[in-house]
Amino acid sequence: MKQPASNKRPQPARASEPKQRRTGKDAARRSVCPIACTLDVLGDKWTLLVVRDLFAGKSHYHEFASSPERIASNILADRLERLVTAGLVETSSSSQRVGSSAYALTARGTSLFPLLAAIRDWGLANIAGTQARVQVPSPKA
Amino acid sequence: MKQPASNKRPQPARASEPKQRRTGKDAARRSVCPIACTLDVLGDKWTLLVVRDLFAGKSHYHEFASSPERIASNILADRLERLVTAGLVETSSSSQRVGSSAYALTARGTSLFPLLAAIRDWGLANIAGTQARVQVPSPKA
DNA sequence: CACATCGCTTGCAAAATGCAAGTGAAATTG
DNA sequence: CAATTTCACTTGCATTTTGCAAGCGATGTG
């Protein structure tokens, strides 16, 4: 126990602070930085792959699940739920099944295209062996 | 124990396959998709914040550590090491300390700027309360 | 109506993360 | 120049997230 005898900051300990751990779905925003805030939503290895698949025209659970990266089923369900919560994806209940069946990007989700394109372009230019597949869904094919 | 009696795929079990778990630092590439490959390198909540700080001119460990998001020390050390391994960052041994002291983006690291800008722009446009700070390091100030 | 498929859940082990507290060397200070 | 402070990390540990396999109910199909 070394106590340098000064420099103590005993932290008054307000009794009603829940000791916020910065993790979990309800984690507080880390800062006001737009990069940090975007990463709070999209910053992991799977979310943007689901978005990529949505841009590629996929809409069903098993289509996402059968992408070459083989996302685990529980992770996929979690990411879809988060994307819906974040307002980037909506479940079109066209066939109104029990579980949600068809997913689609919202307008806000579609606005991710430049971001996704920048990531794709960087990968193509900087990682050997990568191949482009996703195309811009041409407005008037 | 319900065994549907058919549809069994007993997986011949080649004795010499190490049962690759797709996690850890040496995880294999998940696909040839440039987006997936980029996320293999940058896909987490912290890596791009370190890159952001590097673009903002920071170069020392304690500068990254004192960013508003308060990255944990062990995570910061890990991310810097990965960035160096990935060839995006180098330790300039200008003052040749024991621990590496000054970090800087390599040319490949600098090429991340459009990606980072796209993320920043999306955040600014789509997440309320975000504020831009990072500026393009003007080539001829 | 047996069976396959779809859209998820569940259980569990392994890995990553968050946090606090070191540690050792260099720089600073008295 | 001894004492302290700062810097750049490490370490230990609890909690959370991930990966993987399996299961499960509700359709769809032959």
The rounded distance, in Å, linking the Cα atoms of B64 and A131 is 34
The rounded distance, in Å, linking the Cα atoms of B85 and B96 is 19
The rounded distance, in Å, linking the Cα atoms of A30 and A46 is 21
**DSSP letter, residue B60:** B
Q: Domains (ranges, CATH) in chain A?
A: 34-126 (1.10.10.10)
Q: Do the Cβ atoms of A61 and A74 come closer than 8 Å? A: no
B117 contact residues in A (CB cutoff 8 A)? 118
The rounded distance, in Å, linking the Cα atoms of B21 and B94 is 40
Does the C-beta of B3 come within 7 A of strand C? no
Q: For residues A17 and B36, which has the higher predicted lDDT (pLDDT)?
A: B36
> Could you read off the pLDDT of A66-123 as tens digits, one per residue?
999 999 999 999 999 999 999 999 998 655 555 678 999 999 999 999 999 999 999 9
> Could you read off the pLDDT of B105-132 as tens digits, one per residue?
999 999 999 999 999 999 999 999 999 8
CA B120 from chain centre, in angstroms, equals 16
C1' of nucleotide D7: residue with nearest CA:
B62
**DSSP letter, residue B91:** E
Q: What is the pLDDT of residue A3?
A: 36
B34 contact residues in A (CB cutoff 8 A)? 119-124, 127, 130-132
Q: What angle do CA A131, B33, B42 make, to 5 degrees?
A: 125
Distance from CA of A82 to the nearest CA of B (A): 15
Best of A25, A32, A39 to disrupt the B interface by mutation (most B CBs within 10 Å)?
A39
> Could you read off the pLDDT of B56-82 as tens digits, one per residue?
999 999 999 999 999 999 999 999 999
Q: For residues A141 and B128, which has the higher predicted lDDT (pLDDT)?
A: B128
Q: For residues A71 and A2, which has the higher predicted lDDT (pLDDT)?
A: A71
